[in-house]
Structure 1
Amino acid sequence: MKKIVFAAACTLFAVFTSVAHAQPVARDGVLTGAGGRTVYTFDKDQPGKSNCSGGCLAAWPAFIAKPEAVAKGEFGLIDAGGGNRQWTVNGKPLYYYVGDTQSGDRKGDGQGGVWHVVKP
């Protein structure tokens, strides 16, 4: 069972990190990315720097920006490695949660006491 869950998480990670997304937008009281997927912040990050890697990124894929994306206002961009840039809000890197399988899901909110939806 653990192998199946891990394989599914790896597949979702590959899908989310290989697709670049438009700037975050407010929807239903939270910030969302592509397809209305909820985005999150991680308390262990530092302003302008992600501290999520390896297994963390498998469960919490970075919200990758399109190559032509431009930082504006509260939305910024940081280096996500591999030539990619990750969206930030007020300096905090943004992520998706693999447990959110449908638009509008917020299953990652409060996970481990360190993951939070972003309210505009």
Structure 2
Amino acid sequence: MLLHSRIARTAIALAGVAVLAACGEKATGPATPATVAAPTAAAPTVVPATPGPTAEADTSPEVIAAPATPTAAPTVAKTQGRVRIYSGPSDVPLSPEPGTGRGDTLIQLTATASADIGTYVADGQGRTLYRFDKDTAKPSKSTCNGDCAKTWPPLLVAGPGRIYPSGIDPQLVGYVERADGTCQVTIGGWPVYLYAKDTAPGDRNGQGVGGTWFAISPTGDRSTSEPEVVTAPTTATAG
């Protein structure tokens, strides 16, 4: 019985460590290395030579195609807790693990150009990411909780996690621990959010809401507001 009691206590303690590790900083040990699918090289197609009508040998010079320049694999630019931030987008397809409600272990961030608001950041699904003016960047702190977080879900990362930024300085990417112990991705120190009313990739329905919510730029700044539409008169007014 004593042995069983000790085993039970040990299992409970390990479960507690797993919960604390959700954000990353409270657990020790290296992050799990990234698991990626290795590209499969296609087998060369061998086409048998077809003899021509004459027995003359082909004296034309052999043409050899130059090998394609390989894409440099991203390297770890920085580590925060049990989250690794890479030097750029992954060079191979990635398979994120199913979400647990406390964040994803794989986050992709992409700088996206817009003629209306300038360059802003989207996630791996093309969803616009926002910042909240009532938060702070130095130090990083989120003030959107409760019902606010239902309308503006924070972008969460769980450890051991990986973040791949494209067009964003990886040194500006990190995370901040929220009041509930989860980890919210930050850019330039600003916590980033999604908007519940954005239903399709590229939607920016949260831009300018309340004068405090804006699509976040790759440096963490606010993107510019949508241009104001002014209706021009169609006829000249008599003097």
TM-score range, shorter chain: 0.7 to 0.9
Higher relative contact order (CA 8 A, sep 6+): 1
Gaps of 5+ in 2: 1-98, 114-118, 164-169, 219-239
* Farther off after superposition, 76-85 or 107-116: 76-85
TM-score by length of 1: 0.77
Q: Give the percent of matched residue pairs that are identical in Structure 1 and Structure 2.
A: 35
CA displacement, residues 32-79 of structure 1 (integer Å, 9 cap, x when unaligned)? 113110000000001210000111101000011142336741111111
Do the aligned residues in 1 keep the contact of 2:107 with 2:162 (CA within 8 Å)? no
- CA RMSD of superposed structures (Å): 2.2
Q: What pairs up with 1:1-120 in 2 under 5 angstroms? A: 18=101, 19-20=103-104, 21-28=106-113, 29-47=119-137, 48-69=140-161, 72-120=170-218
Q: Per the alignment, do residues 91 and 49 of structure 1 end up closer, same or farther by CA in structure 2, a change over 3 Å counting? A: same
Runs of 4+ in 1 over 6 A off after TM superposition: none
2:232 alignment partner in structure 1:
none
Aligned residues: 105
Greater CA drift, 46-55 or 21-30? 21-30
Larger Rg: 2
Q: Alpha carbons of 1:36 and 1:17: their partners in 2 closer, same or farther (altered >3 Å)?
A: farther
Q: Report the Cα distance in structure 1 between the residues aligned to 2:208 and 2:100, rounded to whole angstroms.
A: 23
User: Structure 1: which 5+ runs fail to align?
Assistant: 1-15
Cα separation, 2, equivalents of 1:110 and 1:17: 31
Amino acid at match of 1:24: L
Deviations 1:2-49 (A, max 9, x none): xxxxxxxxxxxxxx9825250422123320113110000000001210
